[in-house]
Structure 1
Amino acid sequence: MNNKVTMIMVMTVDGIVVKNNEDVSEWTSLEDQTHLRTSLEKFDAVITGRKSFFGRVVDKPYFVLTNDKKYLEDERIENEEVVHLSGEAGDVTNKIFEMGYHKIALIGGPKTNYEFLKNNLVDDIYITVEPKMFGRGKHLNIQEELGCSLFLLDSKRMNSQGTMLLHYKVNNNDCEESVEDLCAPKKVPDMNDKELMLINRDFWNERAPLHEKSNYYNIDELKYGKLSLVDYEIEELGDIKGKNLIHLQCHIGTDTISLAKLGANVTGLDYSESSIKIARELNDKCGETCEFVCSDVYEVRKAVGEKKFDIAYVNFGAITLLPDLNKWAKVIYEILDDDGYLYLNELHPVSSVLSVEEPLFVADYFSKEPRMFEESGSYADGVTDRFNVETKNNKIIVWDRTLGEIISIIAAQGFRIEFVHEYSGYVDQRFNYLEKSSNGLWYPTNGFPNTPATFSLKATKR
């Protein structure tokens, strides 16, 4: 398991990190205090300095660094919740890792933080900047030599007063690697399409249990009746009561179950065994009657037998995982009734070639070559927090197409295109410059223009 230290700190605009040796909660915003508590919940343990320790903020083990013998020798203070340690920063950190704590939050004062940065022990930093200027106090500048390169992963305005949250990756090797580099495509292995799809299946098998617990999928709300579908999907699908609907590449089944709640007779299909297992369990908990089938989408006819469907439903992030879109369109045509239709609600191809940092093209929109990405975590964790989630199967291969190519392939199979609609709202924080709107979708901020985020398409069998 990977070991990681994340520094969490707060300062004023003029660099004050400690004012009159008082608890920072005396002068920081409510938003920062909430951020600290929710952030610390994600870690195994907390390291802090003696002078910066004002009590436990969360129910996690605390390791307090001190050279004061009074604290080190007082056995009454030594317990499972608060342990006082002395020694070099590196030795102390290794000792904590050896105890089985692998994700560590560092919330020390200037001296403690300096020691960890000096010894290249910090992987990333969250800095809250409060819109205050104290003039006097302990500054972030500790008047010591420190060569440390930071690369901005994310920035967020936390309140109307202007409190800012900055997330930096610490580059301990002085190589200029930004989040753009972390998200850059890698060389695709020399394998056939089936082998590449198996790499993708392993990726989703590992992500499914993470997604079951994530706030992004919000399974608890689904259990209580809230639909996971985007508003325009419900409008464009219309009345689907009593319709036989198949949801292809359904993942853990949240949208599948939502479609059932609208009255359709739904079958969900996915090649990820763990996704289907979770979908079946969720279906039972929600009291729905969906049928879930584990199968490669190209083998859908074999998986469902001679059954025909009124609607084939496909949504976000599905078709980019398929090497042969012609075959995909053909099998959908074959499983639909004569008056059936395909409803596709997908990420817009333009969104796959934009920079993470700003809406600029960083890849060839017309490229025909597959791309492989390698990163831990998933979109459910956000564009930057995904790097804090430990996963093993981190390779995923995508096949990009232009919007015109997608429409043409579907039409060539005999479908009549009823409509194609384009939308500017993203379903997740795909890029750093997006902020969540009241409708649950994410839009550009800071004056950035809207770009195509998703598109929907309805194609009827002739």
Structure 2
Amino acid sequence: MGHPGEDNSRWAIPGRRRRLRSDQDQQPPTLTSQTQLDRLPGYETHRMVHRAENPRRSGRLFPVAAARRKEHRWKGGQHDVETWSWHVDRPAWVSGLVCWHSAGVDDYLAINRANWDERAPAHADSPDYGFDQFLNDLGHLSGVVRFDRPRLGDLTGLRAVHLQCHIGTDTVSLARLGATMSALDFSAAALHQARRLATGTGSTIDFRQAEVYDAVEVFGRESFDLVYTGIGALIWLPDVARWARVVADLLRPGGRLFIREGHPMLFTLDETTSPPSLRYPYFETTEPLIFDEPGTYVETETTFTHGLTHEWNHGLGETITALLEAGMRLTGLTEHDSVPWQALPGHMTTDETGEWRLTHHPERLAASYTLQAVKQ
């Protein structure tokens, strides 16, 4: 959904953010303080939240079976504890705190939207997105589109839609390559910046606000020759099969899907260990991975208050199978040893195009992929 280019940047994907779920750690931490959970989208404000004693271990998640409500009465640093069981759907860690909540999976929209709404203005103002370059150079293209330019082919006259377009730099780039562009994102704040960029560059683009699963209702069936999705998009969706059906429904017969995405192999790695180690699910899971990141992946001095996100990994086979079952025919799949962000800090080196790969033996890691498919 975005693409910065600085050495210390992260994409809008699980990159360098602190992971807040671990199926390995099942015991509660020692409690040393108590507070009330501030309002978050989809959460109830009266839930008790307890700060973990060791912040380096604060990324632990209780299994559902271990969920119990605890009330602590604090007296001069000491505490008495009363416990009783209560019903919850699942617990989650938030910003170094553990909280129990009854939010369902649909809450991911409100939680993730709050995160993106807050960050969109900072992204647009950051040099990492290069708004000034787009405004001053009518031939400028985003790094993601430049990377796949040979694979994109001639877009002249194609009616295309960019799903999860964020602030529109890829969208404007595709328009500059000759496509008649529409675009969709669930963040009103991001679309405000995207429209500002389009207006400033003289690009005519039909931007719509909606979640990606509603794209067919927004644009109509079989409306496009090309569906484009840039890197850092699928991880925000809980159901890749449902996404594939949306793509197929948007395309006319013979229409094409084009997507570059971070490789699910990369997303299984814990980048905080040295060397990076296998830790997170490769395959799609019912429950989201829950993260908290108070900053963002671009150069900015903005302070953010919404850091919580819900994300999912999707195996490459799952994604391909979902497209085949939706009536698509795979026409291209290229796995790359690089990604356009420093996904594994201290273990990657950048090249002159802004792509990052393992410093030593980059052939060991599939870091991203480009996939193309045609509707039959």
Instruction: Give the TM-score, by structure 1 length.
Output: 0.57
Which residue of structure 2 lines up, in the alignment, with residue 120 of structure 1? none
For the Cα contact (< 8 Å) 1:249–1:271, is it kept in 2? yes
| Aligned counterpart, 2:156 | 241
Relative to structure 1, the CA distance from residue 273 to residue 418 in structure 2 (aligned partners, 3 Å threshold; closer, same or farther) is same
Task: Specify the alignment match of 2:92 in structure 1.
Answer: 187
Tell me the equivalent position of 1:287.
202
1:436 aligns with 2:350: yes
8 A Cα contact 2:256 2:372, kept in partner: yes
- Which residue is equivalent to 2:10? none
Deviation at 1:435, TM superposition (A): 2.7
Deviation at 1:183, TM superposition (A): 7.8
What residue is the counterpart of 2:185 in the other structure? 270
> Aligned AA for 2:158?
K
SS at match of 1:267: strand
Deviations 1:409-432 (A, max 9, x none): 111101001111111111112221
Match among 262, 265, 290 for residue 372 of structure 1: 290
Structure 1 residue aligned with 2:239: 324
Q: CA deviation at 1:366?
A: 3.7
User: Could you say which residue in structure 2 is the equivalent of 1:416?
Assistant: 329
Distance 1:220 1:174, change over 3 A: same
1:96 corresponding residue in structure 2: none
In 2, Cα distance between equivalents of 1:344 and 1:415: 14
| Residue of structure 2 in register with 1:455 after alignment | 369
What's 1:363 paired with? Answer: 280
Superposition RMSD in Å: 2.6
Question: Displacement, 1:268?
Answer: 1.0
How far apart, CA to CA, are the structure 1 residues paired with 2:178 and 2:355? Answer: 25
- What amino acid is the match of 1:364? P
Unaligned segments of structure 2, at least 5 residues: 1-51, 62-90, 94-100
Give the structure 1 partner of residue 248 of structure 2. Answer: 333
**How far apart in 2 are the matches of 1:432 and 1:182?**
21
How far residue 396 of structure 1 moved from its aligned partner, in angstroms, is: 0.6
Look up the match of 1:56.
none
The farther-off stretch of 294-303 and 282-291 is 294-303
Q: Which residue of 2 aligns with 1:78?
A: none
- Aligned amino acid, residue 227 of structure 1: L
Cα pair 1:326 1:409 within 8 Å, conserved: yes
Q: 1:209, 1:278 within 8 Å by CA — same for their partners in 2?
A: yes
Partners of 2:278 and 2:302 in 1: how far apart? 28
Partner letter of residue 245 of structure 1?
A
Matched-pair contact (CA < 8 Å) for 2:143–2:354: no
Distance 1:175 1:183, change over 3 A: closer
Distance across 1 between alignment mates of 2:214 and 2:141: 29
SS of structure 1 residue aligned to 2:294: coil
Structure 1 alignment gaps of length 5 or more: 1-172
Give the aligned partner of residue 126 of structure 2. 214
* Larger RCO (CA within 8 A; separation ≥ 6): 2
Percent of residue pairs bearing the same amino acid type: 32
Residue identity opposite 2:189 in structure 1? S
3-state DSSP class of the match of 2:298? helix
Cα contact 1:300–1:331 (8 A) shared by 2 = yes
**Structure 1 residue 306 displacement after superposition:** 5.5
- After superposition, the Cα gap between the structure-2 partners of 1:367 and 1:192, relative to the gap in structure 1 and judged at 3 Å, is same
| Worse overlay, 354-363 or 407-416 | 354-363
Q: 2:320 aligns with which of 392, 401, 407?
A: 407
Given that residues 337 and 363 in structure 2 are in contact (C-alpha distance below 8 angstroms), is that contact kept between their aligned partners in structure 1?
no
Shift of 1:380: 2.4
- Conserved in 1, the CA contact under 8 Å of 2:288 and 2:312? yes
Inter-partner Cα distance in structure 1 for 2:323 and 2:281: 23
| Number of the residue aligned with 2:26 | none
Alignment of 1:32-47 (within 5 A): none
Number of aligned residue pairs: give it: 283
Where 1:275 maps in the other structure, the secondary structure is: helix
Distance verdict in 2 for CA 1:290–1:271, change over 3 Å: same
